[in-house]
C-alpha cells in the first residue's frame, strides 16, 4: 500500500510539473470562414453617415468565391482581402475620381477574422489609424436580390453594428452596389 501511495505522489508531482509548461486553452477557432452558397459579393455602402472622429465609414467590400478561395490558399496580399472595410479621413482634401469627389486619404482595414454566410457578415480587423474595427451584420436576401436585379438599390440590404476602437458601437444600414 505504501508503495502505491509513493507512486501516486510521484505521478501527481510529474503531472503538476508538466502541466505548468503547457497551455491548456482550446485550439483557436478558424479565423476565416466563408460558407455562402450564393453570391453576396459587392460593396455595401452606409445609408446614413457613420463617423468616429475624423473618420467616416465608406463601405464594406465582399469579394467573389474565387477571392475567398485564393485568400484561404494563402495567396492574399497586404492590401486586399475578400472582406474589408474602408474609412475616409474627412479632414483630408477631396479629389476628383471616376465616381465623383472623394477624400484623398482613406484607410482600408483588412481582416484578422471574418465569417461570411448567406445570412450574416462578421468582420474583425485592425489598423494603426483606427485600432480594432468590428462589424456584424445580417443580410436580407430578398433586398439583396432586388438590388442585384436593379444593379443597385436604395434599400437596406445589410443591417448591423460597427465598432471602431474605443468608440461606442453604432447601428448601421447598408445598401448594395456592384462596383465599377
pLDDT at 2: 37
Confidence of residue 97 (pLDDT cuts 50, 70, 90): confident
What are 70's strand-pairing partners? Answer: none
Give the rounded percent of residues in the chain with a pLDDT score beyond 70: 83
Specify the residue for cell string 461606442. 168
Binning pLDDT at 50, 70 and 90, where does residue 21 land?
Answer: very low
Q: Which of 19-23, 50-54, 175-179 has the highest mean pLDDT?
A: 50-54
| Residue 98 to residue 90: CA distance in whole angstroms | 19
CA distance 33 to 38: 15
pLDDT at 12: 32
- Asked whether residue 3 carries a pLDDT value surpassing 80, the answer given is no
* For range 127-134, the mean pLDDT: 96
20 pLDDT more than 80: no
| Burial of 24: CB neighbours in 10 Å, binned 0-12, 13-18, 19+ | exposed
pLDDT at 179: 76
Least confident of 49-53, 89-93, 150-154: 150-154
152 Rama class: left (phi>0) / alpha (psi -120 to 50) / beta: left
Percent of the chain with pLDDT over 90: 64
Q: Give the length of the chain.
A: 180
pLDDT band at 39 (very low <50, low <70, confident <90, very high): very high
**What's the gap between Cα 130 and its chain centre?**
14
Taking the CA atoms of 128, 129, 130 and 135 in sequence, report the sign of the dihedral they define.
negative
Pair 72, 32: CB distance under 8 Å: yes
pLDDT at position 28 is 45
Q: CA of 11: how far to CAs of 5, 8, 52, 146, in Å? A: 10, 5, 57, 67
Amino acid at each position: 500500500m505504501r508503495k502505491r501511495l509513493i507512486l501516486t505522489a510521484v505521478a501527481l508531482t510529474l503531472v503538476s510539473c508538466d502541466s505548468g509548461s503547457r497551455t491548456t486553452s482550446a485550439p483557436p477557432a478558424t479565423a476565416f470562414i466563408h460558407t455562402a452558397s450564393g453570391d453576396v459579393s459587392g460593396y455595401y455602402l452606409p445609408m446614413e453617415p457613420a463617423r468616429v472622429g475624423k473618420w467616416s465609414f465608406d463601405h464594406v467590400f465582399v469579394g467573389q468565391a474565387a477571392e475567398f478561395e485564393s485568400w484561404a490558399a494563402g495567396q492574399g496580399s497586404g492590401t486586399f482581402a475578400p472582406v474589408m472595410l474602408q474609412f475616409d479621413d474627412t479632414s483630408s482634401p477631396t479629389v476628383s475620381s471616376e465616381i465623383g469627389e472623394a477624400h484623398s486619404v482613406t484607410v482600408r482595414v483588412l481582416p484578422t477574422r471574418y465569417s461570411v454566410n448567406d445570412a450574416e457578415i462578421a468582420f474583425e480587423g485592425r489598423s494603426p489609424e483606427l485600432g480594432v474595427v468590428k462589424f456584424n451584420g445580417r443580410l436580407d436576401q430578398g433586398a439583396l436580390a432586388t438590388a442585384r436585379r436593379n444593379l443597385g438599390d436604395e434599400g437596406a440590404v445589410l443591417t448591423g453594428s460597427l465598432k471602431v476602437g474605443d468608440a461606442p458601437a453604432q447601428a448601421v444600414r447598408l445598401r448594395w452596389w456592384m462596383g465599377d
